[in-house]
Amino acid sequence: MHQHKQTSVDGETEDDTMSTLSRQNTNTTVPSLTGAARLKKLTKTLTKPRIESSTISEKEVIPEVVLDKKYEPTYRMEPGQGRRFSPAKAKVMIQAVLSTLLDNYEYGSGSPNPAEMTMKLPELILKQVKTLDFERYKFVCLVSMGSAGDNSVCISSRCLWDTNLDTCVTYTHTDKTYYCTVTLYGFYHE
């Protein structure tokens, strides 16, 4: 009896292929030739640089990053000479900001309303206090505004801080129709 064996493109016979497959784990799948060809084509397209196919230059795609200088720790526990938070300087600055913004302000009528003003004032005061260049200080600004009259208001606060370096300043601007109290806290940040 004559057996006929088929020969594949690789030159392997059908028996060779079957013996190879029987030695492998039966759970393993063998990719077909078309799948392997697709995979090879896909990996070629993925490994090509995308910059070559576009008109954008490499400098436009990858922006140049400039790293900030790294500074050595100074181990300083208090601000430098003349850089300590000065309540007197801060009070003059607060007084100037409030007189500029509130001298022609009519409380309760027009724009901005008191709620908007109490949000706008701390932003302006914090911007101005940063120009005074108090070294390594963080600031908190609280603004209270209300109508003047027979009302009485008590504003108080308590803080846990270093009494040698941290301090605060309070200034109250009054008018016939309103009052505005600003408290600025300066905390030394090591």
- pLDDT number for residue 61: 60
What's the pTM?
0.60
Annotated domain spans of the chain: 87-188
- pLDDT number for residue 151: 80
- pLDDT number for residue 37: 74
Q: Residue 114 and residue 124: Cα distance in Å, rounded?
A: 15
Query: Pick the residue with more confidence: 22 or 49?
Result: 49
Give per-residue pLDDT as tens, 109-136.
777 889 999 999 999 999 999 999 888 8
Mean pLDDT of the chain: 78
Contacts of 14 (CB under 8 A, 6+ apart): 5, 6, 7, 8
Q: Does domain 87-188 have CATH number 1.20.90.10?
A: no
User: Which residue reads 């801060």 in tokens?
Assistant: 90
What average pLDDT does this structure show over 8-16? Answer: 52
